[in-house]
């Protein structure tokens, strides 16, 4: 007598597949919910206007309803910290200082030869100045936001870590 494997019915398989898709959707929704706070924080470099024309400012904004902590705004190219804020709820605007000097975007001169009008020389700003962020949300989770607005959770070890070595000695690393 040969044994047969019972594979179930079509409704059973459809139900199992629906449950699996629902579980994946729930997990994805939970991840989006965790990122929600970090997604409401942004930073950029803006031109000064009026009496501040010719200067550049870092604008950092938290559009959420709870504060964000330990914010670091960094130059995306060099990694240099341009601004640190202990706490933010709302918007802050401060002049950009890079290496202790007032920051200015890199301008490149381009020479164009036009047969009818001769040579034309133009100075343009090459690319927008990019910044990235590090921050801690109200629940203590740490996040990094890169210059393309990709949000990544950062897990850092805090404090001393004890390690045990042979011979009964204890050391801190």
Rounded to whole angstroms, the Cα distance separating 104 from 97 reads 9
Q: What's this model's pTM, rounded to 2 decimal places?
A: 0.58
Q: Looking at the predicted structure, is the pLDDT value of residue 21 above 90?
A: no
Model pLDDT for residues 137-155, shown as the tens digit of each residue: 888 889 999 888 888 888 7
SS3 for 38-54 is HHCEEEEEEECCHHHCC
Higher model confidence: residue 38 or residue 157? 38
Element (H, E) at 33: helix 10-39
pLDDT in tens, 77-104: 888 888 899 999 899 998 886 666 666 6
Q: Closest by alpha carbon to 70, among 59, 56, 81, 57?
A: 81
**pLDDT tier, 113 (very low <50, low <70, confident <90, very high otherwise):** low
């Amino acid at each position: 007598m040969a044994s047969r494997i019972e594979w179930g019915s079509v409704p059973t398989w459809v139900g199992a597949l629906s449950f699996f898709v629902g579980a994946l959707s729930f997990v994805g929704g939970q991840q989006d919910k965790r990122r929600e706070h970090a997604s409401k924080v942004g930073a950029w470099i803006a031109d000064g206007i009026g009496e501040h024309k010719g200067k550049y400012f870092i604008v950092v904004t938290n559009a959420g309803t709870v504060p964000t902590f330990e914010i670091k705004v960094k130059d995306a190219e060099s990694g240099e910290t341009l601004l640190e804020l202990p706490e933010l709820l709302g918007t802050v605007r401060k002049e950009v200082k890079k290496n202790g000097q007032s920051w200015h975007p890199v301008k490149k001169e381009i020479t164009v030869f036009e047969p009818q009008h001769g040579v034309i020389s133009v100075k343009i700003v090459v690319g927008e100045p990019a910044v990235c962020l590090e921050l801690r949300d109200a629940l203590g989770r740490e996040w990094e936001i890169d210059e393309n607005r990709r949000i990544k959770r950062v897990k850092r070890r805090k404090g001393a870590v004890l390690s045990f070595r042979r011979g009964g000695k204890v050391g801190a690393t």
